[in-house]
Amino acid sequence: MSASPEKFKRAVRQLQSLTLLFVAVILLLCAFLVGVLVNPKMLRFEASTEPYVEVEADEEYDRIENGIHLRTGFVEGEGLMAVVNNCTNCHSAQLVTQNRMSRKRWEATIRWMQETQNLWDLGTNEPLILDYLSTYYAPQEEGRRPNLVIEEWYDLED
């Protein structure tokens, strides 16, 4: 019982193509590994944690135009970045900018967040932040409408 030469030849050819396929797969894998070593961002899931840092390094990110910090809407002034970095992590900047308070009430709001909302100790930034808030987000007198300014009088004829 010996295999015919035809069958043998076919088996050899099949083995050859299998080996070729195997080598090709190994080569592709090596190329991918080298690629990852050279540029780890090739692994998508790794790159996805990075854009935040890249965006922050961009100067556009903290651009100020007409006295407004574009990204948050905060007014430009001393202490701006301390406020941006400590007060926009949990809620929008709008929650801050829509408020007008005295220094005392800003401080009380910060204490309340520290006691109930896990706001961290602001350290040396606290006086800076309080100065900023009580300067640019102080209460406004708007109890009554401004006086009318009458520029032209009508002469009433009888």
Q: Which residues lie near ligand HEC (CB under 6 A)? A: 86-87, 89-91, 95-96, 99, 109-110, 113, 117-119, 129, 133
Residue reference for tokens 């854009």: 51
Min dist CB 52 to ligand HEC, Å, is: 17
Shortest distance (Å) from residue 41 CB to ligand HEC = 31
Smallest gap, in angstroms, from Cβ of residue 133 to ligand HEC? 6
C-alpha distances (whole Å) from 125 to each of 85, 100, 122, 144, 156 are 10, 20, 5, 36, 63
- Rounded to a whole number of angstroms, the minimum distance from the CB of residue 62 to ligand HEC is 17
Please, which residue, 27 or 68, has the CB nearer to ligand HEC?
68
Residue 42 or residue 107: which is nearer to ligand HEC going by CB?
Answer: 107
Complete DSSP assignment for 41-93: GGSHHHHTTSHHHHHHHSGGGG-EETTEETTTTEEPSTTHHHHHHHHSSSS-H
- Nearest to 75, CA basis, from 139, 141, 135, 140: 135
Output 48 or 85, the one with its CB closest to ligand HEC.
85
Which of 42, 75 has the CB closer to ligand HEC? 75
